[in-house]
Structure 1
């Protein structure tokens, strides 16, 4: 009888594990392309690269209903280089994202390595290239992509408005301001219109100075077209100052998508290291999960500016880049 009871208990535990696992999703992106870069100090470069359109990744995410509208959630995302099989993000196990949190009717709070509100705004609202391919906005605008030790709170959307507040602990002994990151975004979305105001602050190692970036963006969709605009102001370390303007557009019909953008970087210091970027891309969807891409980006650097044309994974080596490749989502 005791043995029979034990077997039933074990079966119950296994069923519980299976039920919990049914709430876990395994997903990823396999992206590889041929990249050619010109205009760099070392000359032209051609290579097979990983994560050109979107960083190649393998992820796990899940959600558990705790009752009364409360849920627990997590996400673990590993980046890898499909061209060599090596780990991305400097070899970190879950270098792309790693967080856990709770969500309910009052919003969601999460803790871990996460995307900053500034980066999310750039990727999702203003950049037609979604921070990938030659010509993405992060070639010129500092996206401050991921923040370690971050606590993030996102409100529900009410009457079109929503807020996102983040704090990244510097974890330096004796002074909590060292290496600290602060971020916030306020957005309004109603039908085809999305307007977002975001701010990002990063303290330096001894808290004697900080880099601050403020950005206002707008996206408007009508039929097969969407238009994006952004204006940003940077107050960087050691007195660096600049203004950035972005104008982008997307046209999509059937399997065809065309992307284009223009970025103007206005250096406000005496050095006047301005830059202008033009970019265009064509995507052809073979299916809902697989597409082919062709992208071109060029930066006109002035007065010693040294911005390079990168893609979804690499920062690039020259002021001109061309990408052609395939991306599969699973």
Structure 2
């Protein structure tokens, strides 16, 4: 009996020492809501997953290597809560999948990682790239995540932050084909947050590239929090557009936020290909992990374009209401 107790005590001691050096966390989001949308071909009523945040389950881990150096990993899989289906076919960890080293120098990640524009959406978008006011409905993000990526990020004590990323195209004989290079520099301290991002993605042959440069930010006065953003998109084929956003969050209480935004896309290459969206939303926190939400938007297209609509010139009217739980 004494030997068993001693062995258990020794095992507990070893386990405790190990857990002090490393940890693994299981986390996730389940987001479900009612969605009503008319994109020009009649009203569609549905129960949808991921209106505010993509439903997901993830594994996050870190190991203290000493001297301020840490090894980290994130494996994150998206799913549809309304059906239980995987978020992407034949891709388990479709949201994020990377390993990293971090320390006083910053952090270096390798794997499938969020793009620099997408990772900074909450700086310039009052909806934070969510709900019916999602800025990606008008703005050209160049995708939300990139595979085969090396990303370096750094945040200074004075609020200055930045990141650079390189995504390998992995095309034999042409290292520039399908390649993405991106960077961002920003400032976040006190009530002010601003960011300047740039992303350059080569096409499949390496002969042309889609380029997006975005400048945006917000200032939190307390009750009122205005947002602004402007983006220039050029590149592959005839791409030559400008995206603009002005928005306002009304922080009614610590648990209640009203979100508004007005966005416009201007096509410099061709006439009658502009689009405008107006959006309104509201979130209420029931707790630190659970909130209710509702939002509405109307995206109007010129007669030669169909952003989010079923046909050219149609408008997309979107409404949702639901609940999000984080664990």
Deviations 1:16-71 (A, max 9, x none): 7962796111111100011111133x322111110111100101111111111111
**1:283 equivalent in structure 2:** 283
**1:313 equivalent in structure 2:** none
Deviations 1:272-329 (A, max 9, x none): 40001000011122112111111101111013221127xxxxxxx9611000111111
**Counterpart check, 1:137 vs 2:139:** no
**2:223 equivalent in structure 1:** 224
**2:261 equivalent in structure 1:** 261
Contact preservation (8 Å) 1:308, 1:320: no
The alpha carbon displacement at 1:15 in A equals 2.4
**Mapping 1:98-117, distance limit 5 Å:** 98-117=97-116
The alpha carbon displacement at 1:156 in A equals 3.0
Contact preservation (8 Å) 1:228, 1:247: yes
**Taking structure 2 as the reference length, what is the TM-score of the superposition?**
0.91
Q: Distance in 2 between matches of 1:262 and 1:154?
A: 31
Q: Distance in 2 between matches of 1:272 and 1:201?
A: 27
Q: Distance in 2 between matches of 1:304 and 1:133?
A: 26
Q: Distance in 1 between matches of 2:72 and 2:127?
A: 28
Helix, strand or coil at the partner of 1:32: strand
Q: Distance in 2 between matches of 1:168 and 1:222?
A: 38
**2:123 equivalent in structure 1:** 125
**Taking structure 1 as the reference length, what is the TM-score of the superposition?**
0.90
Output the aligned Cα RMSD.
2.3
Q: Distance in 2 between matches of 1:236 and 1:37?
A: 32
**Counterpart check, 1:328 vs 2:289:** no
Q: Distance in 1 between matches of 2:15 and 2:256?
A: 45
Q: Which runs of 5+ in 1 are unaligned?
A: 310-316
Q: Which runs of 5+ in 2 are unaligned?
A: none
Q: Distance in 1 between matches of 2:17 and 2:130?
A: 38
**1:189 equivalent in structure 2:** 188
Contact preservation (8 Å) 1:271, 1:303: no
Q: Distance in 2 between matches of 1:91 and 1:328?
A: 26
Return 244-253 or 106-115, whichever deviates more.
244-253
Taking a change above 3 Å as real, the CA distance of residues 329 and 12 of structure 1, as seen in their structure-2 partners, is closer
**2:37 equivalent in structure 1:** 37
**1:314 equivalent in structure 2:** none
**Counterpart check, 1:75 vs 2:79:** no
Taking a change above 3 Å as real, the CA distance of residues 14 and 305 of structure 1, as seen in their structure-2 partners, is farther
